[in-house]
Amino acid sequence: MFRELHHQEAPLIICNVWDAASAVIAEKLGYKAIGTSSAAIATSLGKTDGQNICFDTLLAVVKQISEVTTLPLSADIEAGYADTPQEIVDNIAKLAKLGVVGINIEDSQLTNGRRSLVNKHDFSERLSQIKALLNGKNIEMFINARSDTYILDAATALPETIERISLYEDAGADGIFLPCLTAPSDISKIVAHCSLPLNIMCMPELASFDQLQQLGVKRISMGNFVYDNLLAHLENTLLSIKQQGSFEPLSLD
């Protein structure tokens, strides 16, 4: 079912969640699928994004989410929380046992707080090995290959992105995820060079869902923007309570 949702006429809107409560709300409101936000989960635990929580912690959060929803669930595993394809597949297998049907895995790494792209051929080979190992275990998993070309340098990202997409397609990826891609001209060129479903992410200047559908986008993610918005509202509410000296900002009556 999850795979088919990427090939319908209208883009699949992924509701990114960070705990059981947000997953319950997503299902209540009729979203068709949910995905974890690594940044939102990390922030909720007092950490920053970039595999600064351990995989067991992520697994525990995913377990809590999976127990309260019947929606297809995709997990953001960042760079895999491991060093080798076998270890990454072992992690994916643990997620699959919880009912996870998709993953995001990225082609960049963080070193001393600085993000850089992994060699495209090395990442492609890693994807190929992951796919083969999953097939060997009979684990059906939608692999959404995230490329961070537009995060690092949107002005010069297009040709590098197209090269990477071609390699990742050949390696067995099921979808392509390009955070920070917003320019309609780039989106249309990438769709023309990509036979896989294209996933883009919420950004302030992003076009409407209808416009993105016309451009050929098949999946739209919220990233950590919803969670950040929620925290901003919380901060404003707590500030108002403090300033007014009452709980009137909560509208309790």
Other Cβ atoms closer than 10 A to 226: 18
Give residue-wise pLDDT tens across range 169-186.
999 999 999 999 999 999
119: three-class secondary structure by DSSP: coil
pTM: 0.95
What is the arithmetic mean of pLDDT over 91-100? Answer: 98
**Please, are residues 187 and 215 in contact by the beta-carbon 8 Å criterion?**
yes
pLDDT score at 251: 83
Tokens matching residue 103 = 């993953």
Tally of domains within the chain? 1
pLDDT score at 57: 98
**CATH value at residue 96:** 3.20.20.60
Nearest to 146 by CA among 110, 120, 175, 109: 175
Do strands 108-111 and 102-106 pair parallel, antiparallel, or not at all (unpaired)? unpaired
Give residue-wise pLDDT tens across range 28-86.
999 999 999 999 999 999 999 999 999 999 999 999 999 999 999 999 999 999 999 99
What is the arithmetic mean of pLDDT over 223-237? Answer: 97
CA dihedral 173, 176, 177, 180 (to 10 degrees): 140
Nearest to 134 by CA among 173, 106, 168, 92: 92
- Residue 78 host element (H or E): none
Confidence of residue 134 (pLDDT cuts 50, 70, 90): very high
Give residue-wise pLDDT tens across range 16-26.
999 999 999 99
Do strands 108-111 and 114-117 pair parallel, antiparallel, or not at all (unpaired)? antiparallel
CA dihedral 128, 131, 137, 138 (to 10 degrees): -140
**Residues contacting 168, CB < 8 A, separation 6+:** 107, 123, 124, 127, 145, 147, 176
User: Domain span at residue 160?
Assistant: 4-250
Confidence of residue 106 (pLDDT cuts 50, 70, 90): very high
